[in-house]
């Protein structure tokens, strides 16, 4: 997530420079052929270009709207995880009661720390790279990684879980396929045991079980976004329309500017190049921005800051436990927070 007021051109232009090079090539070649070799058929009417441009604008707007909705839904999900985590913290503090205060404090810590393990396992799962994601495959995205680091790519889940789980439980969780799911399953198993021992009343046990169910719901929503890409048919048609429009755009400009040669001279046709670059760049950048917003958990600069959110939850719940030695909040790297 970028927390600056906007992207600076110093960063935005290099990120999209390949689009500028592409339009420079697509506009220069037909202009040179038209001007020097007098290939008149390259000048096409503006009407078909305008119609294609309208269709391209429509499909680009549709894609960007839908990818933004995916990103915003992901942010809402993690907002719900914040609320559910805090609710779980106060329920554990108030519902898990024993006559032995030392045992009670140990149980509170064990249950809440297991929740930290769930948050950790979930964010590691969400940062796994899928075949359709582009953060590691597109050159312009890979270059932008120089401005920040993805914590889940730099650290190890095993090491992260050592702080929150016993060695035995950690090894069990790591041996499973869906670590986050099995962490909540272990959480539920312990709550059931505490209920059977009378440490948690039946009514409070049901309330805590509902909190775990809500966490499962939020996890499932995250997995739905993570494991189901933006539909490929819509992504493909947007790519095809945009590229076809950018190919025809210079030809339409040649046709329009060639009409002005009698009044202003033949050099007017060279305006095709700058105007094509500017307008083509706009459409290509719209396509690129939509692509970069498709997958809000992949590790891009515009992703949901799940690492920061998880750390903030950890700080809140550690304070509920009365701890003073708190981990530092996640700070921005070049205005980017993950």
Q: Is residue 326 part of a domain?
A: no
Residue 267 pLDDT: 85
Residue 335 lies in a domain: no
Q: Does 127 fall in a domain?
A: yes
Q: Of 81-85, 254-258, 314-318, give the lowest mean pLDDT range.
A: 254-258
Residue 287 lies in a domain: yes
**Angle at 207 (CA atoms; ends 206, 210), nearest 5 degrees:** 85
Average pLDDT over residues 217-240: 95
pLDDT above 90 for 229: yes
Q: Is the pLDDT of residue 265 over 80?
A: no
The residue whose two tokens read 């045992």 is 103
Question: How many CA atoms are closer than 13 Å to the CA of 221, on its beta-carbon side?
Answer: 18
pLDDT of residue 334: 87
Burial 202-212 (b: 16+ CB within 10 A, else e): eebbeebbebb
Tell me if 242 is assigned to some domain: yes
Number of domains in the chain: 1
Q: Is residue 230 part of a domain?
A: yes
Domain for residue 2, yes or no? no
At residue 241 the predicted structure's pLDDT band, cuts being 50, 70 and 90, is very high
pLDDT value, residue 326:
95
pLDDT of residue 121: 98
Whole-number pLDDT of residue 5: 87
Cβ pair 211, 84 in contact under 8 A: yes
Closest by CA position to 65, among listed 226, 239, 305, 289? 289
Query: With 90 as the cut, is the pLDDT of residue 6 above it?
Result: no
The two structure tokens encoding residue 251? 């030809």
Residue span of the structural domain in which 80 resides? 9-320
- The answer to whether residue 163 is domain-embedded is yes
If you average pLDDT over residues 75-102, what whole number do you get? 97
Give the pLDDT band (50/70/90) at residue 303: very high
């Amino acid at each position: 997530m970028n927390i600056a007021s906007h992207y600076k051109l110093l960063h935005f232009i290099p990120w999209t420079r390949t689009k500028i090079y592409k339009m420079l090539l697509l506009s220069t070649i037909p202009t040179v052929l038209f001007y020097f070799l007098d290939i008149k058929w390259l000048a096409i009417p503006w009407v078909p270009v305008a119609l294609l441009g309208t269709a391209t604008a429509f499909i680009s707007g549709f894609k960007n709207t839908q990818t933004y909705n995916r990103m915003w839904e992901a942010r809402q999900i993690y907002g719900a995880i914040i609320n559910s985590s805090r609710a779980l913290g106060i329920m554990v503090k108030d519902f898990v009661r024993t006559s032995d205060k030392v045992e009670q404090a140990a149980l509170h810590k064990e249950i809440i720390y297991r929740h930290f393990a769930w948050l950790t396992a979930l964010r590691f799962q969400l940062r796994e790279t899928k075949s359709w994601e582009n953060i590691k495959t597109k050159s312009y995205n890979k270059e932008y990684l120089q401005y920040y680091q993805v914590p889940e790519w730099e650290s190890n889940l095993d090491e992260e879980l050592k702080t929150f789980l016993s060695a035995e439980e950690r090894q069990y969780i790591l041996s499973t396929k869906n670590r986050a799911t099995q962490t909540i399953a272990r959480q539920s198993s312990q709550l059931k045991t505490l209920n059977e021992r009378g440490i948690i009343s039946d009514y409070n046990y049901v309330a805590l079980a509902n909190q775990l169910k809500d966490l499962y719901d939020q996890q499932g929503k995250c997995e739905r976004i993570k494991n189901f890409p933006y539909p490929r048919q819509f992504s493909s048609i947007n790519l095809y329309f945009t590229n076809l429009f950018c190919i025809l755009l210079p030809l339409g400009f040649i046709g329009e500017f060639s009409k002005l040669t009698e009044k202003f001279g033949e050099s007017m046709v060279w305006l095709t190049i700058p105007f094509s670059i500017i307008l083509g760049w706009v459409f290509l950048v719209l396509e690129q921005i939509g692509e970069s917003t498709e997958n809000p958990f992949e590790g891009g600069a515009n992703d949901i800051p799940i690492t920061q959110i998880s750390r903030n939850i950890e700080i809140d719940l550690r304070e509920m436990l009365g701890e003073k030695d708190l981990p530092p909040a996640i700070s921005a790297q070049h205005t980017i927070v993950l």
